[in-house]
């Protein structure tokens, strides 16, 4: 396979992933409570997966948003009772973010609602395809996460 074809396939892959992300995020947004956006839900999912006690700065880095954007998102989540922001026990200048029981319940409810939405049109063959793709997608996500700043201009 020549390098031009490989580059085209790499672009096509990421283009398909981006379109899937956009369409899936739009569907997810329709099942979330008013005022809670998919980007807010992503923070809840991240805390559930990566663990509590992250600083707002670490969350901003993980979500690849500005600190100001993260601050707004955390205020929304805190207003809904999904997270608590507590002073850092070792650094008085810093705060840590914790998922609440309500936040965990919200995550489960939102995942259930999204699953019901997707199940309206996903068939067994689609779910088999998704299952087959997950390990490869996770490997690519890990690779990209490890190479966030490759120095490309």
What is the pLDDT at residue 145?
87
Architecture of the domain made up of 31-146: Orthogonal Bundle (1.10)
pLDDT tens digits, one per residue of 32-88: 999 999 999 999 999 999 999 999 999 999 999 999 999 999 999 999 999 999 998
Phi-psi region of 149 (alpha: psi -120 to 50; beta: other; left: phi over 0): beta
Query: Looking at residue 35, what DSSP letter applies?
Result: T
Mean pLDDT of the chain: 92
Phi-psi region of 85 (alpha: psi -120 to 50; beta: other; left: phi over 0): beta
What is the pLDDT at residue 99?
97
In percent, the amount of the chain with pLDDT more than 90 equals: 84
The predicted model scores a pTM of: 0.84
Write down the domain spans for the chain.
Answer: 1-30, 31-146
């Amino acid at each position: 396979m020549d390098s031009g074809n490989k580059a085209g396939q790499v672009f096509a892959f990421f283009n398909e992933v981006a379109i899937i992300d956009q369409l899936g995020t739009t569907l997810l947004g329709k099942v979330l409570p008013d005022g809670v956006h998919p980007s807010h839900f992503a923070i809840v999912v991240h805390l559930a997966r990566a663990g509590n006690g992250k600083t707002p700065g670490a969350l901003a880095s993980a979500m690849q948003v500005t600190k100001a954007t993260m601050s707004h998102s955390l205020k929304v989540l805190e207003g809904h009772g999904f997270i608590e922001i507590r002073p850092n026990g070792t650094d008085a200048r810093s705060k840590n973010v914790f998922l609440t029981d309500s936040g965990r319940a919200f995550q489960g409810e939102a995942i259930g609602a999204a699953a019901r939405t997707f199940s309206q049109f996903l068939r067994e063959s689609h779910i088999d395809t998704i299952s087959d793709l997950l390990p490869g997608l996770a490997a690519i996500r890990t690779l990209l996460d490890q190479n966030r700043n490759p120095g490309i201009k």
